[in-house]
Structure 1
Amino acid sequence: MSMGTSPDGDLAGFVRGASPGPKLRERLADAVPEEFFTYPDGLTARDHQAITYARLRRAGLAAPPGSELLDDPPALCALLERAAIADPALFHVMMLHYTLALGPTVRFGTGQDGPGTAREALESMDSFGALLMTEVGRSNSHLSPRTIARHDPATGGFVLHTPDVQAAKFPTSTAHPDLPKTACVYATLVHGGEERGVFVFAVPVRGPDGAVPPGVRVVPAPETTGLQVDYAAVLLEELHVPYEAWLRDGASIDAGGAFHDPAGSPAARLTRSMGIAPAVWRAVISACAAITRASAGMLLAHSAGRSTLGRLAPRRPLTDYRNQQEAVLGALASAYALTAVAAHVKGRRTAADVPAGGPDTAWAPWSAVDRDLALLKAASTVTAQETVSMCRVHSGAPGFAAVERLNAYRGLTHAYMNAGGDNELILYDTARAMADLDRYTPPEEEAGPPDGGDLDSPRVPLFLAREAERRMRDRLAGRVRAAADGGADPFTAWNDNLALAARTATACADRVTLEICEAAAQAGPAELRPVLRLHALNWMARRADGLLDEGVVPPGWLQDVHAARRRACDELAPRAAELAAAFELPPVITAPTAFLTGG
């Protein structure tokens, strides 16, 4: 497994997917140059953050205008992917800036009477975007924020207010004292004595010199190394904002004080206000694919040509050992699978792009926006986290101590298991829609496994995934129905079945992912099929307990899976360098001990 093989053109083309053409790709690479992949030593936390934001500004000015990127998901994702492999903190603030700050001003603004100053400040990079959505004191706070917006007839604007510290917005990226910040604030609009739904308001929370305006209180959070951003809690205390700060999405309050909203109801308004989420999910899925590719490349660089001193076979190459070989090839397989998922989501329009009703939700609003995309975000972050963690462990001490990159990637995947929609809540709402057959059709029952159950057949993993999903869904629906028939209230009926609900939704995510990978294998280069087959075999091994428990496979089946994995690894091992080279990673993404040679 030696490095240095030139990339296979077809595989590299698959990795690029629907990304921009060569000129725009070069422009996006210049926006995040290789100097952004490292930081100087000896920085304080605030110094580190200041550099991150300076790089964000430089990238934003070098890249195409933000509104153009928002209208071109492959281009925006390409920029964010490069930021993610360079520096997860840069990815995080860049993603916030484009999708959760600028995005709402573009999507919900209303033309000439929209929040021109906020949009202009964000597009020009004169101010950095922040998000004020989650509230610290209550779970599921997205469903009903306690931060209130009231119309002020005297000024024509609004007054935003946080009733107590439990309703403080956290986390937010607003702590740095010297940087301008413009936040999109999610607040419940109360008008005429009624709650009218959750709306977004564009609010400068720090001026050009970082000063906090009257009515805004910023409380910096303790420093963290998990994802190095300037976290803070924000409280709004009778903050007056102009009418134009209201990102009203067609709603209005007329001269007589009458409220109008095309959404039709507070529940529908919440879904529309959360309609910026698909851009976030596409970005997160794409970043997960990118950092998984980078991690796999780093593990291969660490492993290739490395000799061992084990007494069974001194001087034997490290990758001759099955555990290391399977880790390297498994990481490459996960990277290609996530790349297929990222290509799929970048190329599709979502329910939120053209608002339409989604399934009812109980725990969070996300599935009502786009159930499948939210579910793929949850699945992708888990796959990336598991793969990055495996790469770090199999890189030994250098993977932990010699460079921050793998630790930073792991921090990013951990963060987005909660951020961008909590994974568990997404799974629960997905399972609820599945049980209720709410915009969901279970896989059809099949007579038996295709191709005699041959594990080398690409049709077998899909059969297993569909059978497991259908059986889990039926069992979940039966349990909840039986609980309800026995007099249990909805909370009790579901609370006693949350573990099964999570497994059921995960089974759905597995099936969708395998379908995406199979479509990619059929449409892509022939060299792609063996590596995606290994991904499917690894999925079988990882889900063996559930497949056995559901009776989808017989006892002893796992031994056949292990044998098939060994055959797949034997086939792929000579091509490991080729598979990694097709990722076209920047040279700075190298072995953890590169610092010894000045790399």
Structure 2
Amino acid sequence: MTTDVDALRQFVHGSSLDAKTRARLEEAVPEEFFTVPGGLTAPDRHALTYERLRRAGLAAPPAGELLADPPALCALLERAAIADPPLFHMMLLHYTLALGPIVRFGAGQQETQPLRESLESMASFGTLLMTEVGRSNSHLSPRTVARHDPATGGFVLSTPDVQAAKFPTNTAHPDLPKTAAVYATLVHGGQERGVFVFAVPLRGPGGAVPPGVRIVPAPETTGLQIDYAAVLLEDVRVPYEAWLRDGAGIGADGAFHDPHGPAAARLTRSMGIAPPVWRAVVSASAAITRASAGMLLAHSAGRSTLGRLAPRRPLTDYRNQQEAVLGALASAYALTAVAAHVTTPRPPGEAAGEDPNRSADAAGGPATAWAPWSAVDRDLALLKAAATVQAQETVSACRVHSGAPGFAAVERLNAYRGLTHAYQNAGGDNELILYDTARAMADRDRYVPPEPELGPPDDGDLDSPRVWLFLARDAERRMRDRLAGRVEAALRDGQDAFTAWNGNLALAERTATACADRIILEILAAAAGAGPRALGPVLRLHALDRLERRAAGLLNEGVVPPGILDELWAARRRTCDELAPRAAELAAAFDLPAPVTAPTAFLA
């Protein structure tokens, strides 16, 4: 007989991975990876992370299989994130941002096979050289250039000055081989031909640096402990085969050709390696939120208080702590639903770009102004931004509600918080993603606003998913209309595009956030309808929490009347009363490895 815990466990784990594959992924990231020995210096810590990465890569399924199987790759990265956030970051870079471009853009180029094999065998570790330290939005126009050398047939890669240095990169460790995916502007025939990727060995066996490569280690940091460094390329010569040309080429006559369009289109295409990153980041956000919620419950359950209102009262009898625990569990299940949504292949007829309210493909995404990401996949980029914000809020709340032990006795919550903070910017800056989303919404660029409805269904009962969706859709449409009206009015008054948008960035951010809320609530409503019975109340709690956080915007847009917070609080109390007896079951379905929720041991 299937219990509620069994049904929830199946929801958490999904159905796409068989038991054999899941066991292999657990072997790749064993329980010993969930603790870090004390007393390590920063270089020792980095060396440990790379050794774990090597072991994981050799024990996991082959890299090519993982890159072709998003649920499997995300499951591996989820486990790495829970175990050791720096390991997750290194693994993500290695698979998706170093090996991924070779597989995708170097397809059919036999010359790239040695580099691919070195990464797949973990003989070399992958790194990414994309952003540049001296200018914001450097993705759009890297100053690092690659010039074709007719004499050798190869290319010369150069960063013109320190402001164009590639940063951040994980290249500082002096003893390890590194292979980089370098993003550079290809200049040929006196013209910029677009941003392309070049596969470049940055460190050989033993860490030796080739001529022209200069690596400058960054100061140590505790936020997300990586061997950060800036890299400058000073007339680095690479063979023609290092160019991951993706169908482009330079003929024997010296003529350049690119079947995928002009330079702007090439930029979007070269940034097309981002979707695997975003899927992994959403999945990791869900995973560390589950772990954080489990840790908070373990801290809170059975803990008594000495408050004078009711001495010896259990901590979770207090509404603030109870709602924090249950809210964290609800956030974990909500992000798990979002992760399942982004890693599930879309059926025929629902491919990206076919529905104007779904993600666009690289050839037909909305125009972008601040970053290239929305042009690659609008909704997936937006969900990455929303997931990292939600994870950061939940992890931070779990740390605060765990008191001093959450900050000082267990490093895990601080490490999770560092990871969520890092990915507010890494993998595409969240604010820039929101601004480009809002611009596409205002311009109706591959976007159709939700249809207006006469009023909230089900008598406005906040327990109803139909009511959540009505409120979210109404807010999104109203904000979009007001944003579009303000920008259009500014342009009619003679303002240039920068001034018109610069004066409305706060509304733009809220508008795009409203779009993300609507998408997430649609995912939750679908999951609640199709998932196990026990899932409905916990997703409802997250929906109520999300609506409470958006109450100011809902009131400002006239979507709800005054008094909505009282209604939301009452609905949340009812839902928490329903869920409180089942908190342990909700956490048990996460199947967290024992070290995650183990009691603090330093006093033993």
TM-score (norm 2): 0.97
**Equivalent residues of 1:28, 1:63 under 8 A apart:** yes
Q: One-letter code of the match for 1:317?
A: P
Q: 2:210 aligns with which of 188, 192, 213?
A: 213
Q: Secondary structure at the match of 2:597?
A: coil
**Equivalent residues of 2:125, 2:177 under 8 A apart:** yes
Q: One-letter code of the match for 1:231?
A: Y
Q: 1:105 aligns with which of 94, 102, 116?
A: 102
Q: Deviations over 1:397-448 (max 9, x none)?
A: 0000011100000000000000000000000000000000000000000000
- Provide closer, same or farther for how the CA distance between residues 19 and 229 of structure 1 changes in structure 2, counting only shifts above 3 A: farther
Cα displacement (A) at 1:141: 0.2
Q: 2:523 aligns with which of 498, 516, 527?
A: 516
Residue 278 of structure 1 corresponds to 275
1:471-486 alignment runs, 5 A limit: 471-486=478-493
- Provide closer, same or farther for how the CA distance between residues 592 and 365 of structure 1 changes in structure 2, counting only shifts above 3 A: farther
Residue 505 of structure 1 corresponds to 512
Q: 1:427 aligns with which of 431, 434, 447?
A: 434
Q: 1:147 aligns with which of 144, 147, 150?
A: 144
Q: Secondary structure at the match of 1:399?
A: helix
**Equivalent residues of 1:215, 1:237 under 8 A apart:** yes
**Equivalent residues of 1:399, 1:592 under 8 A apart:** no
Cα displacement (A) at 1:113: 3.4
Residue 600 of structure 2 corresponds to 593
Residue 298 of structure 1 corresponds to 295
Q: One-letter code of the match for 1:266?
A: A
Residue 349 of structure 2 corresponds to none
Q: Deviations over 1:245-287 (max 9, x none)?
A: 1000000001111001011100100011000000000000000
Cα displacement (A) at 1:456: 1.5
Residue 90 of structure 1 corresponds to 87
Cα displacement (A) at 1:325: 0.1
Residue 575 of structure 1 corresponds to 582
Q: 2:554 matched to 1:547?
A: yes
**Equivalent residues of 2:374, 2:381 under 8 A apart:** yes
Cα displacement (A) at 1:593: 1.9
1:400-419 alignment runs, 5 A limit: 400-419=407-426
Residue 251 of structure 2 corresponds to 254
Q: 2:319 matched to 1:312?
A: no
Q: Secondary structure at the match of 2:136?
A: coil
- Provide closer, same or farther for how the CA distance between residues 592 and 496 of structure 1 changes in structure 2, counting only shifts above 3 A: farther
Q: One-letter code of the match for 1:378?
A: A
- Provide closer, same or farther for how the CA distance between residues 173 and 300 of structure 1 changes in structure 2, counting only shifts above 3 A: same
Q: Deviations over 1:461-515 (max 9, x none)?
A: 1110000000000000000000000000000000000000000000000000000
Q: 2:182 matched to 1:182?
A: no
Q: Give the unaligned 5+ runs of structure 2.
A: 347-351, 354-358
Q: 2:241 matched to 1:244?
A: yes
Q: One-letter code of the match for 1:570?
A: D
Q: One-letter code of the match for 2:220?
A: E
Cα displacement (A) at 1:348: 3.2
Cα displacement (A) at 1:111: 1.8
Residue 392 of structure 1 corresponds to 399
Q: One-letter code of the match for 1:187?
A: A
Q: Secondary structure at the match of 2:562?
A: coil
Alpha-carbon distance in 1 for matches of 2:309, 2:319: 14
Q: Secondary structure at the match of 1:234?
A: strand
Q: Deviations over 1:100-140 (max 9, x none)?
A: 00000000003243412211111110000000000000000
- Provide closer, same or farther for how the CA distance between residues 222 and 107 of structure 1 changes in structure 2, counting only shifts above 3 A: same
Q: One-letter code of the match for 1:151?
A: H
**Equivalent residues of 1:217, 1:237 under 8 A apart:** yes
**Equivalent residues of 1:398, 1:592 under 8 A apart:** no
**Equivalent residues of 1:299, 1:591 under 8 A apart:** no
Residue 450 of structure 1 corresponds to 457
Q: One-letter code of the match for 1:586?
A: P
Q: 1:225 aligns with which of 222, 225, 229?
A: 222
**Equivalent residues of 1:150, 1:190 under 8 A apart:** yes
Q: 1:528 aligns with which of 531, 535, 538?
A: 535
TM-score (norm 1): 0.98
Q: Secondary structure at the match of 1:316?
A: coil
Residue 3 of structure 1 corresponds to none
Residue 48 of structure 1 corresponds to 45
Give the structure, 1 or 2, with the largest relative contact order (CA under 8 Å, sep 6 or more). 1
Report percent identity of matched pairs: 81
Alpha-carbon distance in 2 for matches of 1:525, 1:378: 28
Q: One-letter code of the match for 2:520?
A: T
Q: Which moved more, 1:16-25 or 1:549-558?
A: 16-25
Residue 467 of structure 1 corresponds to 474
**Equivalent residues of 1:172, 1:231 under 8 A apart:** yes
Cα displacement (A) at 1:355: 4.0
Q: One-letter code of the match for 1:423?
A: N
- Provide closer, same or farther for how the CA distance between residues 548 and 447 of structure 1 changes in structure 2, counting only shifts above 3 A: same
**Equivalent residues of 2:360, 2:378 under 8 A apart:** no
Alpha-carbon distance in 2 for matches of 1:478, 1:270: 31
Alpha-carbon distance in 2 for matches of 1:194, 1:461: 52
Alpha-carbon distance in 2 for matches of 1:184, 1:259: 22
Alpha-carbon distance in 2 for matches of 1:354, 1:55: 35
Alpha-carbon distance in 1 for matches of 2:16, 2:424: 26
Q: Secondary structure at the match of 2:205?
A: coil
**Equivalent residues of 1:158, 1:241 under 8 A apart:** yes
Residue 20 of structure 2 corresponds to 23
Q: Which moved more, 1:70-79 or 1:455-464?
A: 455-464
Cα displacement (A) at 1:591: 4.8
- Provide closer, same or farther for how the CA distance between residues 592 and 366 of structure 1 changes in structure 2, counting only shifts above 3 A: farther
Q: Secondary structure at the match of 1:532?
A: helix
Alpha-carbon distance in 2 for matches of 1:502, 1:297: 32
Q: 2:560 matched to 1:563?
A: no
Alpha-carbon distance in 1 for matches of 2:601, 2:83: 16
**Equivalent residues of 2:4, 2:534 under 8 A apart:** no
Q: Secondary structure at the match of 1:289?
A: helix
Q: Which moved more, 1:189-198 or 1:105-114?
A: 105-114
Cα displacement (A) at 1:39: 1.2
Alpha-carbon distance in 1 for matches of 2:601, 2:63: 35
Cα displacement (A) at 1:595: 3.8
Residue 325 of structure 1 corresponds to 322
Cα displacement (A) at 1:372: 0.3
Q: Deviations over 1:172-221 (max 9, x none)?
A: 00000001110000000000000000000000101110111111000000
Q: Which moved more, 1:583-592 or 1:556-565?
A: 583-592
Alpha-carbon distance in 1 for matches of 2:16, 2:109: 33
Residue 74 of structure 1 corresponds to 71
Cα displacement (A) at 1:91: 0.1
Q: Deviations over 1:531-562 (max 9, x none)?
A: 00001111111111110111100011210110
**Equivalent residues of 2:362, 2:375 under 8 A apart:** no
**Equivalent residues of 1:189, 1:198 under 8 A apart:** yes
Alpha-carbon distance in 1 for matches of 2:234, 2:520: 46
**Equivalent residues of 2:202, 2:213 under 8 A apart:** yes
**Equivalent residues of 1:36, 1:86 under 8 A apart:** yes
Alpha-carbon distance in 1 for matches of 2:264, 2:293: 43
Q: 2:373 matched to 1:370?
A: no
Q: Which moved more, 1:536-545 or 1:360-369?
A: 536-545
- Cα RMSD (Å) of the superposition? 1.2
The number of aligned residues is 592
